Amino acid sequence: MSNITSHDQSWRAWLMTDAPTSRRHARLANLYQGWLTLRGNSMAMFGLGILLALLLIALFAPLLSPHDPFTQSLSNRLQPLGSEGHLLGTDSLGRDILSRLIYGSRITLYIVALVALIAPVAGLLVGTVAGYAGGWTDTILMRITDIFLAFPRLVLALAFVAALGAGIENAVLAISLTAWPPYARIARAETLTIRSADYISAIRLQGAGALRIITKHIWPLCISSLIVRVTLDMAGIILAAAGLGFLGLGAQPPSPEWGAMISEGRRFILDHWWVATVPGLAIFTVSLAFNLLGDGLRDVLDPKDGSQ
Amino acid sequence: MTALTIKNLNVWFGAHHDRVDAVRGANFEVQVGESFGLVGESGSGKSTILKAITGLAPTWSGDISVEGTPLSGAKRDRAFYKTVQMVFQDPYASLHPRHTVDQVLSETLQLHGFKDIDTRVVKLLDDVGLGGKFRFRYPHQISGGQRQRVAVARALAGEPDILLLDEPTSALDVSVQAEILNLLTDLRDEHKLTYLMVSHDLPVIGHMCDRLAVMKDGEIVEVMDSEDLRQGTAKHDYSRSLLAASAAA
Amino acid sequence: MSLLEVENLWVRFPTRQGIFDAVRGVSFNLERERLGIVGESGSGKSMTGRAILRLIRKPGIVEADSIKLEGQNLLDLSEPEMREVRGQKISMVMQDPKFSLNPVMTIGDQIMEAYLLHNNTSKAQARVKAIEMLEAVSIRDPERVMRAYPHEMSGGMGQRIMIAMMLIPDPQILIADEPTSALDVSVQRQVLDIMDGLVKKRGMGLIFISHDLNLVSEFCDRVLIMYAGRIVEVCDADKLHEAKHPYTQGLLNSLPRLDQPKKYLEVLQRDEAWTKEDSVRGTR
């Protein structure tokens, strides 16, 4: 026992060191200290907990769900909360809402992951190139960004989906297309301040080219603020996906996407409130979790807080 | 032979109504192996001259030549970066906050086309008196003086002939300043370097430089030997008033 | 009774590695004099100044047996009462005036606002006073400066305006934290002369915090030398060059001097023992 604790202690000391001895050590120690900061923020840990739970639920959906999410049972329709065998009741076609929620988490995560991969990367590319190059490149890229920004998000997404056809993939694409401009703006603003920093001048004086400066020196500093922004935007992305689902332009029935579930449930909202409310609560919880985590990450990643 | 020749140099920022003439008609030469100082108050244009040489200030006219090779515009070739390097004023701003000392130095060595990067990083850290235990630290894990040593190591990585020093100790405590200035003195001997040093601090320039130019409002008012500075035999009124102000303080 | 008496002041910051003591048991007093506090970065000199005004941000902790302003213990005051003290009785001038002035208000408006806050008079009266203040800090064209915005001012002007604002409520103590280190040597001198004149004329106490030994020795009456959160030495400013403590001597010797050229500067050899010595009392 004491052996284990002392072993733990030495690991801790190794990770807490101010004098790392190898590249890997430096990176791990840095990560560990960021983790400690994050761990100190109980709200962020709460958010992280919810998201991990969501991940596990999505992973083990077939094991966790009590019923098949697609099996209809018209004799059993619109059962209230806590009815026998259906903890969260059933919907208008008698499908188990809990099972649909559990399976729906897969779709939610899928959408979130894809959008989180596409939109910030596109924004980062456009923003840093515009910010670093300046001049005409900047003007053209930023005017394009402005055009995208000028449209209401959901309307633009609607137009894209209408043109591309309904479906989850197209919904993801549409949301990404409407989500990147704010990231481009942030990345550009960050780049403008970083560009004139002495450490960028210093690497320029070593003969580094624009590509290297952008990817190796500017990106690492922009990425942290983008990650924070993405987690804060996740709620909006889930809601946009739900909105498209609600309008019948995202996931198609009978797919158990949460927005689509609300849409289906809205017809019964006066008499059978839980059908729309339960998926609504799920969206709310996950959005909140992302927001809390984003707040915590801001404390860890904010580059202005470099002097710890 | 001259290391640096500056002839009739004008540097300006902005255009038309916003145009600010930061340097006007500057002339001086720095001999190989010499240490030359530029002194003046803030806004006198002393740092701007360094920026024009390195291409960080693209709008200039006149002649700048490095070891006989004339420069033009803002573009500098690889040979230039191999010959001229710079140490910046604020070591807190001149190191990338997310790069370890090792990353800073290895990337620089890689850019200069060296192959034996690991041995060279160790050698560089040794040269600036840091030693291996600092190699994998992030800038926030080391002190101001240690950061400035890293910045000096980075400047030396490409084995340059000429080092431009932009107020290299003004952000540091006096005891650390002494260490860095001693280090620069040693390095100059070891690597046969030529220094062009900018500072607002007359005693620092007097200590480090053989000759110096006094700048005021973008113009060089006087070029003199440090010996004259020590004797207090400056000719121009402004140099004398600077000398009086710093002697009083 | 002294103007200000600080007894056993500690400033602590909890960190992951444990508690960091930025100031360790410092005691001193201030009469109607110019008291210098010198030290290198991290010596705790600025923290001492801020701790007197209870301006240390969380999670920092200020502890002291007492901080007495004319016999009244500042530690017993509530936060609103403390706000009265800041500005009314003790004013503070910071290093960079750019960060202390509101960028979107004209300088005249800012001075008048400060004046009206402390005095119950008309706007016209405040305006007259504000111009008087600007004249007191040797600003030649006060009418023009009144209409200007902070970004139109040079560093030296900005600092003079800050001093003018700080003096409006007629404080008994002025704490100046590196008030001239962002300024050129020639401007530095003017600002110091103005401050000196005002302090003498009004009989104020001045705490002058600086890293510049020569400046302090010339400008102050008495100097506290701080190292690692403690006072290692107290001496009369004009006798600073005869200082006994090896740290003070080391600092003085490490400065390059025009009249003594040498190839290498002396390097301060730090002694671990200095951080363990008891803090010297800076009272008289």
Q: Which of C185, C191, C216 to mutate to test the interface with B (most CBs of B within 10 A)?
A: C185
Q: What is the pLDDT of residues C246-263, one digit of tens each?
A: 999 999 889 888 888 888
Residue type, B104: V
Assess whether pLDDT exceeds 50 at residue A308: no
Q: Cα(B191)–Cα(B67) distance, rounded to whole angstroms?
A: 17
A-C C-beta contacts closer than 8 Å: 4
**Is C64 within a domain?**
yes
Q: What is the pLDDT of residues C124-156, one digit of tens each?
A: 999 998 898 888 888 888 888 899 888 888 778
What pLDDT shows up at residue A154? Answer: 79
Instruction: Report the alpha-carbon angle C183-C188-C194, nearest 5.
Output: 130
Model pTM score? 0.86
What mean pLDDT is predicted for residues C184-191? 80
What pLDDT shows up at residue B236? Answer: 87
For chain A, the residue count is 308
Handedness of CA C210, C216, C221, C222 (dihedral sign): positive
What pLDDT shows up at residue A91? Answer: 80
Assess whether pLDDT exceeds 90 at residue A127: yes
What pLDDT shows up at residue C185? Answer: 79
Q: What is the pLDDT of residues A133-152, one digit of tens each?
A: 988 999 999 999 999 888 88
Strand, helix or coil for residue C235: strand
**Is C149 within a domain?**
no
Q: Which of B86, B96, B118, B164 to mutate to test the interface with A (most CBs of A within 10 A)?
A: B96
Assess whether pLDDT exceeds 80 at residue A253: no
What pLDDT shows up at residue A186? Answer: 92
CATH number for C37: 3.40.50.300
**Is B172 within a domain?**
yes
What mean pLDDT is predicted for residues A241-260? 80
Q: Cα(B177)–Cα(C264) distance, rounded to whole angstroms?
A: 12
Q: What is the pLDDT of residues C2-36, one digit of tens each?
A: 899 999 999 999 887 788 999 999 999 999 999 99
Assess whether pLDDT exceeds 80 at residue C211: yes
Residue B17, class by beta-carbon neighbours within 10 Å (0-12 exposed, 13-18 middle, 19+ buried)?
Answer: exposed
Handedness of CA A26, A27, A28, A32 (dihedral sign): positive
Task: State the pLDDT confidence band at A258, using cuts at 50, 70 and 90.
Answer: confident
Q: Which residues on chain C are in Cβ contact (under 8 Å) with A16?
A: 16-17
What pLDDT shows up at residue C192? Answer: 87
What pLDDT shows up at residue A1? Answer: 45
B-C C-beta contacts closer than 8 Å: 77
What pLDDT shows up at residue A218? Answer: 94
Q: What is the pLDDT of residues B68-100, one digit of tens each?
A: 999 988 889 889 999 999 999 989 899 998 899
Q: Which two tokens stand for residue A46?
A: 């709460």
**Is B17 within a domain?**
no
Q: Cα(A217)–Cα(A223) distance, rounded to whole angstroms?
A: 11
User: Could you tell me the CA-to-CA distances from B64 to A183, A275, B20, B164, B196 in Å, in that order?
Assistant: 42, 78, 20, 14, 14
Decide if B200 contacts C186 (C-beta within 8 A): no
What pLDDT shows up at residue C63? Answer: 93
For residue C227, which of B212, A307, B175, A284 has the smallest C-alpha distance? B175
Q: Which residues contact B88 (CB under 8 A, 6 or more apart)?
A: A198, A201, A202, B94, B151, B166, B168
What mean pLDDT is predicted for residues A2-12? 68
Q: Identify the chains in contact with B, defined as 3+ C-beta pairs within 8 A.
A: A, C
Q: Which residue from C188, C213, C267 is facing B178, i.e. has the nearest CB?
A: C267
**Is C95 within a domain?**
no
**Is B26 within a domain?**
no
Q: What is the pLDDT of residues A208-224, one digit of tens each?
A: 999 999 999 999 888 88
**Superfamily of chain region A91-305:** MetI-like (1.10.3720.10)
What pLDDT shows up at residue A306? Answer: 41
**Is C53 within a domain?**
yes
Q: Cα(B108)–Cα(B100) distance, rounded to whole angstroms?
A: 13
**Is C163 within a domain?**
no
Q: Which residue from B78, B93, B137 is facing A198, i.e. has the nearest CB?
A: B93
Task: State the pLDDT confidence band at C201, using cuts at 50, 70 and 90.
Answer: confident
Domains identified in chain B, total number: 1
Assess whether pLDDT exceeds 50 at residue C222: yes
Q: What is the pLDDT of residues B169-218, one digit of tens each?
A: 988 888 899 999 999 999 999 999 999 999 998 999 999 999 999 999 89
Contacts of C98-103 spanning 24+ positions with Cβ under 8 A:
C98/C150, C98/C151, C98/C155, C98/C158, C100/C162, C101/C150, C101/C158, C101/C161, C101/C162, C102/C150, C103/C149, C103/C150, C103/C151
Domains identified in chain C, total number: 1
Q: Which two tokens stand for residue C150?
A: 């902070």
CATH number for B193: 3.40.50.300
**Is C15 within a domain?**
yes
Q: Which two tokens stand for residue B129?
A: 């008196």
Structural domain including C249 reads 1-89+204-284
Task: State the pLDDT confidence band at C193, using cuts at 50, 70 and 90.
Answer: confident
Q: Which segments of A80-230 are extended strands (E)?
A: none
Q: Cα(B74)–Cα(B71) distance, rounded to whole angstroms?
A: 9
**Is C151 within a domain?**
no
Residue type, B222: E
Assess whether pLDDT exceeds 90 at residue A61: no
Q: Cα(C95)–Cα(A10) distance, rounded to whole angstroms?
A: 43
Cβ distance B174 to C215 less than 8 Å, yes or no, reads no
Q: Which residue from A21, A201, A204 is facing B136, i.e. has the nearest CB?
A: A21
**Is B246 within a domain?**
no
Q: What is the pLDDT of residues C44-98, one digit of tens each?
A: 999 999 999 998 888 899 999 999 999 999 999 999 999 888 878 998 888 777 7
Task: State the pLDDT confidence band at A15, using cuts at 50, 70 and 90.
Answer: confident
Assess whether pLDDT exceeds 90 at residue B248: no
Structural domain including B50 reads 31-59+73-220
Q: Identify the chains in contact with A, defined as 3+ C-beta pairs within 8 A.
A: B, C
Cβ distance C17 to A33 less than 8 Å, yes or no, reads no
For chain A, the domains span: 91-305
